Structure 1
Amino acid sequence: MSKDLTLVEVALRDGSHVVRHQYTTEQVVSIVKGLNEAKVPYIEVSHGDGVGGSSVQYGFSKERDINLIKAAKEVSDFSKIAVLLLPGIGTVEDLKEAKEAGADMVRVATHSTEADVSAQHIRYAKNELNMEVVGFLMMAHMASAEKLLEQAKLMESYGADVVYVTDSAGALLPHQVTERIELLVNNLDVKVGFHAHNNLGLAVANTLAAIEAGATFIDGSARAMGAGAGNTQTEVLVAVLDKLGYNTGVDLYKMMDVAQDLVAPLIETEQIIDSDSLMLGYAGVYSSFRLFAQRAAEKFGVDSRDILNELGKIGVVGGQEDMIVDVASQLAKEQK
């Protein structure tokens, strides 16, 4: 297996959920400068739900993510700037704007069984915009290893340079990560990546399992900032990988300083595994649903854990946030 790994820092994208998408230009510039000095290869910058995600349904950004991307690019002479795009939320026009603002890479995200909806965006990014392109298969616990391979092959055929197994719910166990990553590594001609959430406390363990199975692109988030209980904590991961002899190229001390001095002060509620986060992983629910479920629970006077458990039973996926209110309403009726 390769000892060289490529790290993508997601605190300015997945971490946007934690600050309710209220990042300012000044905050982004400060953090990007620090990450750039720490020699982080890629920094993802966009609304938590990708470029174009600022909306009533997903939450309005304080500042337009295109402007944040531009500001990030202007202060980064080493790190490349990445963006997330979810077809149906972000458009080809959003992608073009992101590229013009300075984005080097786009990660086109779909549900784990719906890779076909990424074709237009991957091809446009690759062939028209000459960007690095990643296929991002979300909610990977909801598809078998064989199904994920089928979908990954589609993304590869559209032109993706890397395909990710994305544990959006933090629901996978290490052996399930190994099974999925190994199958993709052994059957794709492109690189394979892994993105974890920590809802079951397994983000670092699952990322190590992915690396040992052959993944060479890995995601981390400073101070673990991300939806649910957060992502794989970058500074912890870099330290662990250094002890294991892997090369990320990231300066550990400088990465620790970014996390401690720049990111930590922005977090109102520490990234811990509370009851709702645990239920996300246990029930297999999209990590960004946590806050929506808590609001619905308060409105309808029901237990947020019951909402999340029911959402897991019916197999909701990203983009079905409207189901949260429906489930909460139904639970309230049943309890009367």
Structure 2
Amino acid sequence: MTDVTVCDSTLRDGNHAVAHRLGVDDIRTYARAAALAGVDVVEVGHGNGLGASSIQVGLAAVDDLTMLRTAKAELRDTRLGVLSMPGFCCVERDLKPALDCGVDEVRVGAHCTEADVTRQQITMLNDLGVVAKGILLMSHMIGAAELLEQARRMQDYGARGVILMDSAGAYTQSDVEEKVGTLVEHLDIAVGFHAHNNLGLAVANTVTAVAAGATIVDVTSRGFGAGAGNAPLELVAANLHKTGVPTRLRLFEALDAADLAHTAFVRRVPTNDGITITSGIAGVFSGFAGPVRRAGEQFGVDPREILVELGQRKVIAGQEDTIVEVALELARRVA
């Protein structure tokens, strides 16, 4: 069996859970613990990746380059990774300076139907000899055949792997089997899976992805991430250990890293509630949970109704302004 690569996104996806307020001490301490735990990649940055710190999606407490330099100083055999989403991340302003900080791996992300927008960055990184992988966000929104078409484009651009991101936590295990299995069967590069826990299936879906042939999985300590959170490092480590899946993870050190994160900066362990569950059912980006709660309170409407309407409109990350628009329309209907 091929070794499974574990990417720890605690210091990137986890930033969503604290309004992007992770500090230098948090980054330094956790990067060291994650490296000891044997994760392959520590992904660091604003929740939406390089260049995303803004009023619209949240201002980070620490700038990108400081975050990256801080983490890099704690890593030896563990690679430093970043997320780059064209539109947020500019090559000259954000990506090239990040590479100068010692970034080893860049994941270039796009909405699941828009792989074309990753071409410039993936080809450039490939030419520079930097490991580039593609990410297809909100991948529940299209079928396996269309996902394969988009993933093939990323492969053609030079991506070393493609990760399906269940950004809304909407996947069931049968979805994972079909979509991950299709990519594994037809691509010549690695396939990965990034779970969210809106329906309580993050760990089960991650294990199912591995069984379907995925060789990259994403985790966060205590599931620390947007909405209902991600697949917890400690539980994925335990399940892969128990089933004999080969990884670099050291089980007890992974458990220690999760405990440390909980003590240091996980102020609230992500849980499932009416908002996050509705988000998963409606297929709405997990990072919308907080803004939807606030809009519901501001306009006196049920936040679950906001999520249902957002799902019907097929709103995606980056369209946060629509939340207020929908909340206002719902308020007018009941006025």
Q: TM-score, structure 1 length as denominator?
A: 0.98
**Residue identity matched to 1:285:** V
Rounded Cα–Cα distance in structure 2 between residues aligned with 1:309 and 1:237: 31
CA contact 1:85–1:106 (8 Å) conserved in 2 = yes
Deviation, structure 1 residue 264 = 4.1
Specify the alignment match of 1:98 in structure 2. Answer: 98
Contact 1:9 1:43 in 2 (8 A): yes
For residues 83-102 of structure 1, the C-alpha deviation after alignment (integer angstroms, 9 at most, x for no partner) is 00111111112111111111
Distance, in Å, in 1 between the alignment partners of 2:17 and 2:170 is 20
Q: Would the aligned equivalents of 1:22 and 1:62 in 2 still touch at CA under 8 Å?
A: yes
Q: Which amino acid aligns with 2:241?
A: D
Partner of 2:285: 286
> C-alpha deviations, 1:193-251, integer Å up to 9, x for none?
00000000000111111111100000011110010100000111011111101111111
What's the secondary structure of 1:146's corresponding residue? helix
Correspondence for 2:27: 28
Aligned partner of 1:49 in structure 2 is 48
Q: Distance in 2 between matches of 1:183 and 1:163?
A: 12
Distance in 2, Cα, partners of 1:63 & 1:280: 29
- Residue in 2 that maps onto 1:334: 333
Query: 1:288 is paired with a residue of what secondary structure?
Result: helix
CA distance in 1, matches of 2:44, 2:253: 20
Q: Could you say which residue in structure 2 is the equivalent of 1:239?
A: 238
User: In the TM superposition, what is the alpha-carbon distance from 1:268 to its structure 2 partner?
Assistant: 2.3
Unmatched segments (≥5 aa) in structure 1: none
Q: How far apart in 1 are the matches of 2:177 and 2:90?
A: 33
Give the Cα–Cα distance (whole angstroms) in 1 for the partners of residues 263 and 220 of structure 2: 11
Q: Which runs of 5+ in 2 are unaligned?
A: none
With the length of structure 2 as denominator, give the TM-score of the two structures.
0.98
Q: CA deviation at 1:267?
A: 2.1
The offset of 1:266, in angstroms, is 1.3
Q: Which residue is equivalent to 2:125?
A: 125
Where does residue 309 of structure 1 map in the other structure? 308
Q: Which residue of 2 aligns with 1:299?
A: 298
Offset of 1:38 from its aligned partner? 1.5
What's the CA shift string for 1:284-313, capped at 9, x where partnerless?
A: 000101111111111111111110111011
Return the alpha-carbon distance in structure 2 between the equivalents of residues 116 and 275 of structure 1. 36
Q: Which amino acid aligns with 1:45?
A: V
Kept in 2, the 8 Å contact 1:223–1:264? The answer is no
Letter in 1 for 2:279: L
CA contact (8 A) 1:66 1:98 kept: yes
Aligned-residue sequence identity (percent) comes to: 43
Q: Secondary structure at the match of 1:20?
A: coil
